[in-house]
Amino acid sequence: MDQPAPTLGTAPLLLIAVGAVAVLLVLIMWLRLHAFVALVLVSVLTGVATGLPVSELLDTLLDGFGSTLAEVALLVGLGAMLGKLLEVTGGAQVLADTLVRRFGERRAPLALGIAALLFGFPIFFDAAFVILLPIIFTVARRFGGSLLLYALPAAGGFAVMHAFVPPHPGPVGAGNLLGADIGLLVVAGLVVGLPTWFISSYLFSRWIGHRIDLAVPDVFGGGRQPGPEARDGDEPGDEEPGDGGATVARTVTETPVRAPAFGTVLTLLLLPLVLILFNTGLNTLGTYGVVPEDATWVAALSLIGETPIALLITLLVAIVVLARERFSRDEVEELLNSSLGPICAIILITGAGGMFGEVLQASGIGTALTASLDALGLPVIVAAFVIALCLRVAQGSATVALLTTAALVAPAVATSGMSSFDVALVVIAIAGGSTALSHVNDSGFWLVGRFLGMDVATTLRTWTVMETLIGVVGFLIAAALSLVV
């Protein structure tokens, strides 16, 4: 809808923006108000403070909320369902154990990291880490050395995928606010994320693992039991790593089922990526006139590669391949339904972030910030990283930092004349800022530290440093690409 002209000058609008962020931090950090409620409340107060007409305020709020959810809910929901099917059938165990056997003892940490990168595509960080942790412990006991050599490459792999690559809610939500092409964002996330993981997680683990000798804790006892942060549905069973035909305990019944083959798991993880890259390739070829952009067959093939359709196709294939001879139709329905509960809060927070962004744009705050950045001569990609980093340090939540920053810089991106790939790189820069400097106000800090048996000081020296490296290296690669691409 048409936005009303701002009624305040640049200085008052910027002060209101600073005040809005400050109120948001107070509500979340000190008053412990849920982020969804806090974002909705701050959105309303910001609209009123900036003089948005009361008759149009509700429409502005609903437009921002609805347009964000239109894409985010599809991607996150389909990704969660796919991850659940892979989880309960033992896909993580098969993937990790097969890679460790094929890479060999010397490259076991590398194999675990690659397994995390693959398995982290559809599954959120905390659930994926808990699922893979018993395998990490078993491999560490088998080959010896500091636990950090094995745990950090895997934790870093999950962290990179969660921060940089759709369908995870942070990059999807930020990409939606900035108008990024999600398929291209997947490409940019992988181009930046893979070298970032190798430098910041794998190489760092080799360095820190020889300086801190961390023993494997007895978190799971003799079997596989949920840890203190695990939720219902986080654990696929109480198995030990074995071959591709290992037995995995069923989540919905007591009857054990056979784990899928390694090739099946790998195919399901790579299928959406191939479809999305296929779509991006056709679009590029059409731009250069290699294929006719208006041809029906090009449009049909491009549709298959759109991110929501690619995930839908992969989910349908997974239902047939993984559920056949393992679960009844009712059990499959129950599994898919159970995957949606844990992500509802994330989807609502993401939608509320879109609402906040719409208010910032409608009120003129975004335009005022754009003018200020131009006056300072600060590139948008640098400003985006710095703002996200400040928000991350202040309140801990990477998702809130991602969405708030994206909402603030969206007008600057829209008026900058950036290419689609440059917009995707700005999303990556924001993700980098929202990843760095994880400390005591971040749930991931306690999750990793507690499961690995580390005290606060050791967690700061290991997890916090690795997360900061991921954020800074990712930003530097994205910034360098923005200069040359």
Q: Tell me 229's DSSP state.
A: T
**Domains of the chain, residue spans:** 10-484
Contacts of 12 (CB under 8 A, 6+ apart): none
455: exposed, middle or buried (Cβ count in 10 Å: 0-12, 13-18, 19+):
exposed
Q: Which range has the worst mean pLDDT, 77-91, 330-344, 368-382?
A: 368-382
Asked if omega into 411 is within 30° of 0 (cis), the reply is no
Question: Distances from the Cα of 69 to the Cαs of 19, 64, 407, in angstroms?
Answer: 26, 9, 15
Does the pLDDT of residue 242 top 70, yes or no? no
Tokens of 458: 């050791």
424, 432 contact by CB (below 8 A): no
Confidence of residue 257 (pLDDT cuts 50, 70, 90): low
CA atoms in the 13 A half-sphere facing the CB of 203? 10
- CA–CA distance, 47 with 358 (Å, rounded to integer): 10
Confidence of residue 284 (pLDDT cuts 50, 70, 90): low
To which residue do tokens 């709020």 refer?
A: 61
Cα angle 74, 397, 411 (rounded to 5 degrees) comes to 65
The larger pLDDT score, comparing residue 148 to residue 119, is at 148
Question: Distances from the Cα of 332 to the Cαs of 19, 84, 123, 470, in angstroms?
Answer: 48, 10, 18, 37
Mean pLDDT of 209-216: 90
Does the pLDDT of residue 235 top 70, yes or no? no
pLDDT for the residue 118: 85
Mean pLDDT of 390-395: 77
Does the pLDDT of residue 423 top 90, yes or no? yes
